[in-house]
Chain A
Amino acid sequence: MESKRVVITGIGALSPFGTGKDAFIEGVRAGKYCAEVIVRFDTIPFRSNQACLVPAVELEDKDPRLARLPLSFKYGIAAADEAIRDSKLIFDVEEKDRIGVFYSTACNTEQTEQYHLGIVEKGPSSASPLLFQNTTFMAGPGAVSIKRRITGPAIAIPGGYASGLQSIDVAVNYLHQSYIDVAIVIGADELTRLHYEALYRLKLLSPRRKGAREISRPFDAGRDGMVLGEGAGALVLESLSHARKRQAKVYAEMVGVAIAHDAFRAADIAPSGRGLATAMRVALADAGMSPESVEYIAATANSTRLFDNAEVKAIKKVFGSHAYRTAASSIKSMTGETFAASGIFNVIACTVAISNGFLPPTINYEEADAECDLDCVPNSARAKRVRVAMANAYSFGGTSGSAVLKAFEDTEEDE
């Protein structure tokens, strides 16, 4: 019998909306569309040329060792810094081996590509030791731990687009087992040319219409593929007893989380959405809640026919007729597909629905699709405060995750 309650006490976001969680919340409230023409790399060979990129990243520390890290890790470090500041944790008084860092990524960095390209072009003796060091999976979590002398677990989770929720799942398990008191959970990715090209060649990106903006329009009948994004989201998760002891502000309670795999194909997802349905069902069971209690779902729909249809099918399977009474919107309509960050961003979207009093919209929605006939909060944010919300993530390769969040009530149970 599980007894530990886990709460969210810090939030950080470096997103296509800009720097900070406030920029994220305001962007979501305004329904801001973030796609711009890519200048970071050459898109001339492609029929697409737009993405939702992070406008700028500035780190607290002016250390050149951090400055030369890949963008992706800088994003993650900046988001973690904000979440930790936001939580008001004082590291001088914390037991450092009771804090863990759970860091998820889905994609390689541009420096990883450079590292391998250098070896291919000039031979192994030209391999850059610094690029090697900067591009290992541990470079991000290592940097977060080293800065604060955190000596608990530092875990890198390269788990595809659902890895943000995987890192939450692992962190919550550590907290439930009382191995740690505090978890710093990060999901971060940068958009690279190679990743862009791969998805373009797989015909998964929304193609450019002459002079028009490429449109991310989850659930819309006219959706024709993803617009890619990037960024980092970070959360401070904490056992309730620890949060109480230091009188921390609580955003929401993390009452259930689960990850699952659809055991279908290596680079695909099961069209029935069965993996995501399993994750949602197990997360609800973990929370001890019925589907009827969920009032909002931060959907993982990314404007592809495959993902959006699969998610709607999965929601209907788990929620039955209640699927039509709950709202399910996708912030990827604004930020594009943000890979590992997306799961964390969806959790932040749930805290918005719980504590900021509005439901994030699905923007760019024009034409109803009979296959995606749920309430997607079309085009503008809806004033509503919910008690229970769910965040989803689904990845090529079949990994999925789901988290259930609840408005925090400081009752005496637990400890």
Chain B
Amino acid sequence: MTHEEIVEKLKSMIVGRLNLGISPDEIDKDQQLFASAEGGGLGLDSIEALEIVVGIEELFGVGVEYSEGVEQRFYSLNTMAEYIEELLEKGS
């Protein structure tokens, strides 16, 4: 799975699970996920982050440790995809 494929899968999963009412293409892969909408981010909250964790685990079959520092890995879709690539590598 390429980096871009992971990003695309993440976009669809996030829009679907969070019922965001937008098209997956409307999320930029470098957009900040947790910054406010006014600040150009997606404005997600901590429960939504947990929902994304459950989504990643189902979609990619990896275990995500939701602990300190994970915010940096969840900064944008790009950083999230890098993190998933690492987890997939570790698992294989």
Partners in one complex: yes
Q: Which residue of B lies closest to A69 (CB)?
A: B19
Chain B residues positioned under 8 Å from A125 (CB to CB): 54, 57
The interface bits of chain A over 123-147 (1 if a CB of B lies within 8 angstroms of the residue's CB, else 0) are 0011111100100000000000000
Expressed in whole angstroms, the minimum distance between the Cβ of A173 and any Cβ of chain B is 33
- Asked if B51 is an interface residue, CB under 8 A from chain A, the answer is yes
B51 touches A130 (CB 8 A): yes
Chain B residues positioned under 8 Å from A126 (CB to CB): 54, 57-58
The interface bits of chain B over 26-53 (1 if a CB of A lies within 8 angstroms of the residue's CB, else 0) are 0000000000000000000001101100
- Asked if A68 is an interface residue, CB under 8 A from chain B, the answer is yes
Chain A residues positioned under 8 Å from B20 (CB to CB): 64
Chain B residues positioned under 8 Å from A128 (CB to CB): 17, 51, 54
Q: How many residues of A contact B (CB 8 A)?
A: 12
Given known contacts A64-B19, A64-B21, A68-B19, A130 and B47 CB-to-CB distance under 8 angstroms = yes
A67 touches B54 (CB 8 A): no
B51 touches A67 (CB 8 A): no
| A49-64 CB contacts (< 8 Å) to partner B | 62, 64
Complex alpha-carbon distance, A410 and B17, angstroms: 53
Complex alpha-carbon distance, A287 and B46, angstroms: 49
B19 touches A133 (CB 8 A): no
Given known contacts A130-B47, A130-B48, A64 and B18 CB-to-CB distance under 8 angstroms = yes
Chain A residues positioned under 8 Å from B50 (CB to CB): 129
Complex alpha-carbon distance, A25 and B76, angstroms: 51
Of the four ranges (under 10, 10 to 19, 20 to 34, 35 or more), the interface on chain B belongs to: 10 to 19
Given known contacts A125-B54, A125-B57, A130 and B17 CB-to-CB distance under 8 angstroms = yes
Expressed in whole angstroms, the minimum distance between the Cβ of A320 and any Cβ of chain B is 56
A133 touches B18 (CB 8 A): no
A68 touches B54 (CB 8 A): no
Complex alpha-carbon distance, A247 and B18, angstroms: 43
Complex alpha-carbon distance, A122 and B61, angstroms: 13
Chain B contact surface mostly: helix
Expressed in whole angstroms, the minimum distance between the Cβ of A218 and any Cβ of chain B is 39
Chain A residues positioned under 8 Å from B54 (CB to CB): 125-129
B19 touches A67 (CB 8 A): yes
Complex alpha-carbon distance, A122 and B48, angstroms: 20
Chain B residues positioned under 8 Å from A130 (CB to CB): 17-18, 47-48, 51
Q: Which residue of A lies closest to B55 (CB)?
A: A128
Complex alpha-carbon distance, A67 and B57, angstroms: 25
Find the residue from A64, A68, A122 having the highest chain B CB count within 10 A: A64
Q: Which residue of A lies closest to B46 (CB)?
A: A129
Find the residue from A62, A126, A130 having the highest chain B CB count within 10 A: A130
A129 touches B47 (CB 8 A): yes
Chain A residues positioned under 8 Å from B51 (CB to CB): 128-130
Q: Which residue of A lies closest to B15 (CB)?
A: A64
Chain B residues positioned under 8 Å from A122 (CB to CB): 58
Complex alpha-carbon distance, A342 and B45, angstroms: 36
Complex alpha-carbon distance, A127 and B51, angstroms: 9
Q: Which residue of B lies closest to A122 (CB)?
A: B58
Expressed in whole angstroms, the minimum distance between the Cβ of B29 and any Cβ of chain A is 20
Chain A residues positioned under 8 Å from B58 (CB to CB): 122, 126
B48 touches A67 (CB 8 A): no
Q: Which residue of B lies closest to A125 (CB)?
A: B57
Complex alpha-carbon distance, A128 and B58, angstroms: 11
Chain A residues positioned under 8 Å from B21 (CB to CB): 62, 64, 67
5 smallest CB-CB distances across A and B, nearest first, come from A129-B50, A68-B19, A130-B51, A129-B51, A129-B47
A interface vs B, CB < 8 Å?
62, 64, 67-68, 122, 125-130, 133
A-B contact pairs, 13 of them (CB 8 A): A64-B18, A64-B20, A64-B21, A68-B19, A125-B54, A126-B57, A126-B58, A127-B54, A128-B51, A129-B47, A129-B50, A129-B51, A130-B17
Q: A126-B57, A127-B54, A130-B17 are in contact. List 20 more A-B contacts (CB 8 A).
A: A62-B21, A64-B18, A64-B19, A64-B21, A67-B19, A68-B18, A122-B58, A125-B54, A125-B57, A128-B17, A128-B51, A128-B54, A129-B47, A129-B50, A129-B51, A129-B54, A130-B18, A130-B47, A130-B51, A133-B47
